[in-house]
Amino acid sequence: MTSNQALADWVRDVAALTQPDRIHWCDGSQAEYDALIADMLQTGTLIELDQETRPRCYLHRSDPSDVARTEHLTFVCTPERDDAGPNNQWMDPTEAHAKVDALFAGAMRGRTLYVVPYCMGPLDSPLARCGVEITDSPYVAASMRIMTRMGRPALERIEREGSFVRGLHSLGDLDPERRFIMHFPQELLIKSIGSGYGGNALLGKKCHALRIASYQARQEGWLAEHMLIMGVEDPQGRLHYIAAAFPSACGKTNMAMLIPPVEYRGWKIHTIGDDIAWLHVGDDGRLWAINPEAGFFGVAPGTSRHTNANAVDMLQHDTIFTNVAMTADRRPWWEGLSDETPAFDWQGRPYDPANGPAAHPNSRFTVSAKQCPSWSPAAELASGVPITAIIFGGRRASLAPLVLEAKSWQHGVLMGAAMASETTAAATGKVGVTRRDPMAMQPFCGYHFGDYWAHWLATGARLSKAPGIYQVNWFRRDAQGRFLWPGYGENLRVLKWIIERCQGAVDAAHTPVGNLPLRGGIDLTGLDVSHDDMRELTHIDPQAWLTEMDEVAGFLHGFGPRVPQVLHDERERVSHGLRNITAG
Ligand code: SAT
Ligand code: MN
């Protein structure tokens, strides 16, 4: 099956523990994918959508208790508790292995064990890394073919290089009481049981490409981040690549494939990735990024011709939908798509508004990135793409302005560390609660945040041409709860300002919390945003920010002595400046 003895031994040992009926080594071929689909249609794991209008589109309905990431069941298991940090749930590795291995024992009886070799990043890229996921879920095996470079070529690279991240996954009995997502960074190992949901089960994604990779990246001198990557081409044909971090379900997919407003003729968006960026310091002193993924696992609700026409186009064929609703003629449907009324909700019940939304708020589509009309072949470049600007964003009804520019790399790291956002349906738990989510990595950083911020600072010090760092907020509301900014394609107006700032082409208003657009700095041509709203969006309230900075101080101190002093100093600089304003 493989010339890699470690892999062969591991598969043998796992099979001895889990007792599958069959073992299948995935080659990643179309025939294999078709067979997986046929099998799932037969067992009811997939439902066929209307093949006439939606060729090769299928619907998967997950267990109703298994619809989002379960952060409270996710652990980082390092020998030293402090290495996982207060930002992770920790379990002693020996205890964690014993606990999950007991659940894995016999878990695959009656099922097929799929060996899924995959590569995160272009197959020929030195920045890419390989992994092997063992799973008993054909839905996971098929989804991994969409989301990663899966199959033979990945196995060949593993056989050449010898190293790979191991991920063991079983649906188990889907009981939330027996669900664990365990990470063993030192062993480059993941064990996940009891969930078939994307972020818990497609182990190449959050488990490998963020939690394990962030740990590996620190050791090897790079960064694994929860960021989209997009190219913005201006009418002069100049291409500027942007990496932007937002928490789950805050619009990364929409932004990555943004459609320029009509006034922006000549501007073009090049989509590289919508969720994860691996960032490396290049020999030229610039920061270079690859998207380790090959597909999108995007949030369906709210996606429409108006908000994201590129996504609607790419979802017309060859897509697996999870937990969306269905119309009477078997087309996928979700809230915000159209004013039609669906026939069936996400659980397959006849649609009744009394049961809540028709599509689950965290319902998803899984689709190859190449199907996106704005997908860029630069996503396949072994070198990655050079980054002009880094953006941190959150969902905040108040306080945070539309855009803010960091004064330096250190200040930008503080900005990222201090990010806060309202929680979304992407994780189980209450929605709409504002929580700190540093660099949008709260659920995904595989080690202590104090060490992580120190690593960010050290990375910046190696960049002679560091990207500018910005903070954005598309979700600001007025006292009545109305959004002040239209968002979606109009966000290009903010990106234009950011690019102009990076080129030194426009001035800004300097404040202690960062630099803001001057009046007229954000182009509003053709846009229905009043000057009062724009002032509100590009203005900071020093008193409220002083309170915010006090909270940030407390938050940083909560991470103890591993937090770099530079961050405390930077925070004090901001607070001091704000005190001068409020006193004056
Ligand atoms: O479920 S995933 O973790 O893959 C998506 C997300 O929450 O960002
Ligand atoms: Mn994400």
Token output for 150:
């899966």
- Is residue 17 over pLDDT 90? yes
Count the residues in the chain: 584
Instruction: Please give the pLDDT value at position 584.
Output: 76
Residue 363 CA, ligand 2 centroid: distance in Å:
14
Rounded to whole angstroms, the Cα distance separating 381 from 289 reads 10
Instruction: Give residue 295's pLDDT band: very low, low, confident or very high (50, 70, 90).
Output: very high
Instruction: Give residue 570's pLDDT band: very low, low, confident or very high (50, 70, 90).
Output: very high
The answer, yes or no, to whether any atom of ligand 1 lies below 6 A from the CB of 206, is yes
Residue 275 CA, ligand 2 centroid: distance in Å:
5
Rounded to whole angstroms, the Cα distance separating 529 from 516 reads 17
Concatenate the DSSP letters of all residues of 359-382 into one string: S-TT-EEEEEGGGSTTB-GGGG-T
At 108-162, the pLDDT tens digits run 999 999 999 999 999 999 999 999 999 999 999 999 999 999 999 999 999 999 9
Residue 567 CA, ligand 2 centroid: distance in Å:
26
The answer, yes or no, to whether any atom of ligand 1 lies below 6 A from the CB of 69, is yes
DSSP-based three-state secondary structure for 409: helix
Token output for 166:
């191991």
Q: Which of 120, 205, 424 to mutate to test the pocket of ligand 1 (most atoms within 8 A of CB)?
A: 205
The answer, yes or no, to whether any atom of ligand 1 lies below 6 A from the CB of 198, is yes
Q: Give the number of whichever ligand sits closest to the CA of residue 295.
A: 1
Identify the residue whose C-alpha is closest to ligand 1 atom 6: 248
The pTM (predicted TM-score) of the whole model is 0.98
Identify the residue whose C-alpha is closest to ligand 1 atom 5: 199
Identify the residue whose C-alpha is closest to ligand 1 atom 3: 199
Residue 551 CA, ligand 2 centroid: distance in Å:
26
The answer, yes or no, to whether any atom of ligand 1 lies below 6 A from the CB of 191, is no
Count of H helices and E strands in the chain?
16, 29
State the closest ligand 1 atom to the C-alpha of 427, by its place in the atom list counted from 1: 7
The answer, yes or no, to whether any atom of ligand 1 lies below 6 A from the CB of 297, is yes
Residue 182 CA, ligand 1 centroid: distance in Å:
16
Report the candidate in 222, 183, 187, 221 with the shortest Cα–Cα distance to residue 205. 183
Identify the residue whose C-alpha is closest to ligand 1 atom 1: 199
Identify the residue whose C-alpha is closest to ligand 1 atom 4: 199
Q: Is 179 exposed, middle or buried (0-12, 13-18, 19+ CB in 10 A)?
A: buried
Q: Give the number of whichever ligand sits closest to the CA of residue 426.
A: 1
What's the whole-number mean pLDDT along residues 380-403? 97
Residue 526 CA, ligand 2 centroid: distance in Å:
33
At 21-55, the pLDDT tens digits run 999 999 999 999 999 999 999 999 999 999 999 99
Q: Give the number of whichever ligand sits closest to the CA of residue 68.
A: 1
Q: Which of 275, 364, 442 to mutate to test the pocket of ligand 1 (most atoms within 8 A of CB)?
A: 275
Instruction: Please give the pLDDT value at position 105.
Output: 98
| Partner residues linked to 237 by β-bridges | none
Residue 21 CA, ligand 2 centroid: distance in Å:
34
> Cα–Cα–Cα angle for 354, 298, 522, nearest 5°?
105
Token output for 507:
């001035």
Identify the residue whose C-alpha is closest to ligand 1 atom 2: 199
Identify the residue whose C-alpha is closest to ligand 1 atom 8: 248
Q: How far apart are the first and last CA of the chain?
A: 74
Catalytic: which of 130, 250, 372, 445? 250
The letter for the amino acid at 63 is D
* Residue 70 burial (CB count, 10 A): 21
E strands, 315-406, are: 319-322, 325-326, 332-333, 364-368, 385-393, 403-405
Rounded to whole angstroms, the Cα distance separating 315 from 505 reads 39
Concatenate the DSSP letters of all residues of 144-182 into one string: HHHHSEESHHHHHHHHHH---EEEEEE-TT--GGG-EEE
Residue 12 CA, ligand 2 centroid: distance in Å:
33
Q: Is 77 a catalytic residue?
A: no
* Residue 481 burial (CB count, 10 A): 7
Q: Give the number of whichever ligand sits closest to the CA of residue 322.
A: 1
- Is residue 472 over pLDDT 90? yes
The answer, yes or no, to whether any atom of ligand 1 lies below 6 A from the CB of 248, is yes
Q: Give the number of whichever ligand sits closest to the CA of residue 245.
A: 2
- Is residue 191 over pLDDT 80? yes
Rounded to whole angstroms, the Cα distance separating 216 from 224 reads 9
Mean pLDDT computed over every residue of the chain: 97
Rounded to whole angstroms, the Cα distance separating 327 from 334 reads 10
| Partner residues linked to 434 by β-bridges | 422
Cβ 185 vs Cβ 76: under 8 Å: yes
State the closest ligand 1 atom to the C-alpha of 69, by its place in the atom list counted from 1: 1
Phi, psi angles (nearest 5°) of residue 420: -135, 155
Tokens 């202690």, located at residue: 512
At 510-520, the pLDDT tens digits run 999 999 999 99
State the closest ligand 1 atom to the C-alpha of 226, by its place in the atom list counted from 1: 8
Q: Which of 206, 225, 227 to mutate to test the pocket of ligand 1 (most atoms within 8 A of CB)?
A: 206
